[in-house]
């Protein structure tokens, strides 16, 4: 389990994260959402130990990530938004660097890479942006770690590759893995992310499962306009409307509509999800 307690971090006089507390449990793919500048990437780099908390603490299975204990480093992987065009063939790079992760599986790497339709014999510094991203995703998943931190992994991927990414993440990670994915591309990932974490203005607005969201809010996809809607988005066939689930009915959560609802009603979010 990952425990974040009263975490704060700033760049000079600019406070980015303030009094952040949350738990991240194994067996889940967390969607980390928020507008630009709210600290999503900073939080990921703190979780994996690339930055040190200035106030508060982070513990991953009882260890502080910034201490860089070999046992923890061998069981985590951070995939940044911008990946390096390494001057080596993909398979050669994987064989040479996979040794740093004890459970690295070269056959899994090659399998995922082929599913992404990338040639393992191609040099990474000659790949397109999408091919390069898929190579790094394949390498990350082949490391077989229990803690994944991915920053905007679908950036640069075309539509078929985004579907392949969703399939790969659910197929090639273990059931006890804790995966945190930061994204602006909510529609790319809404079928696999659960729970949802929303950061805003240095704080955690929401850390809730899809089930918890559906218990609190109702997502209406009909044509009748509701005056009590907290959020409404017109569509060609009617509207997506979100309103309090007073009747306890079931509905399919639309993550993008949920994010927009929370962003427009932050005090309500605190009362509904942070009691």
d(CA 245, CA 229): 11
CA neighbor of 9 nearest in space, from 22, 18, 64, 164? 18
The pLDDT profile of the chain, 275 residues, written as one tens digit per residue, is 999 999 999 999 999 999 899 999 999 999 999 998 899 999 999 999 999 999 999 999 999 999 999 999 999 999 999 999 999 999 999 999 999 999 999 999 999 999 999 999 999 999 999 999 999 999 999 999 999 999 999 999 999 999 999 999 999 999 999 999 999 889 899 999 999 999 987 789 999 999 999 999 999 998 888 888 999 999 888 899 999 998 999 999 999 999 999 999 988 887 888 65
Bridge partners of residue 235, in order along the sequence? 238
Angle at 246 between CA 242 and CA 248, to 5 degrees: 95
- Interval 49-62: pLDDT, tens: 999 999 999 999 99
- Which segments within 102-237 are labelled E, that is strand? 147-151, 178-182, 196-200, 203-208, 217-220, 231-235
Bridge partners of residue 9, in order along the sequence? 17
pLDDT of residue 65: 98
Q: What count of other Cβ atoms lies within 10 Å of the Cβ of residue 52?
A: 12
CA–chain centroid gap for 95, Å, is 27
Which phi and psi (to 5°) does residue 197 adopt?
-115, 130
d(CA 239, CA 220): 8
- Interval 28-38: pLDDT, tens: 999 999 998 89
For 201, the 3-state DSSP assignment is coil
**What domains can you pick out in the chain, each with its CATH number?**
2-207 (3.40.50.300), 209-273 (no CATH)
Percent helix, strand, coil in the chain (nearest 5)? 35, 30, 35
Cα dihedral 7, 11, 13, 19 in deg (nearest 10): -10
């Amino acid at each position: 389990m990952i425990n974040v307690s009263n975490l704060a971090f700033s760049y000079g006089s600019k406070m980015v994260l303030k009094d952040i507390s949350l738990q991240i449990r194994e067996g889940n793919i967390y969607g980390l959402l928020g507008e630009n500048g709210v600290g999503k990437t900073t939080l990921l780099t703190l979780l994996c130990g690339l930055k040190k908390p200035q106030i508060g603490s982070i513990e991953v299975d009882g260890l502080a990530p910034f201490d860089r204990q070999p046992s923890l480093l061998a069981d985590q992987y951070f995939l940044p938004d911008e990946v390096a065009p390494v001057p080596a063939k993909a398979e050669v790079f994987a064989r040479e660097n996979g040794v740093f992760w004890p459970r690295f599986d070269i056959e899994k790497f090659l399998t995922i890479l082929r599913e992404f339709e990338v040639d393992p014999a191609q040099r990474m510094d000659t790949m397109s942006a999408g091919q390069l991203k898929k190579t790094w995703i394949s390498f990350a998943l082949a490391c077989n770690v229990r803690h994944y931190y991915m920053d905007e992994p679908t950036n640069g991927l075309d539509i078929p590759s985004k579907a392949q990414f969703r399939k790969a993440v659910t197929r090639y990670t273990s059931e006890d893995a804790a995966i945190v994915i930061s994204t602006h591309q909510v529609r790319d990932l809404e079928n696999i992310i659960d729970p949802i974490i929303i950061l805003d203005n240095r704080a955690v607005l929401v850390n809730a499962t899809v089930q918890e969201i559906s218990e609190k809010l109702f997502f209406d996809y009909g044509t009748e306009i509701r005056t009590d809607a907290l959020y409404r988005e017109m569509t060609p066939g009617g509207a997506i409307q979100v309103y309090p689930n007073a009747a306890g009915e079931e509905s399919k959560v639309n993550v993008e509509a949920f994010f927009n609802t929370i962003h427009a009603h932050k005090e309500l979010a605190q009362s509904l999800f942070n009691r």
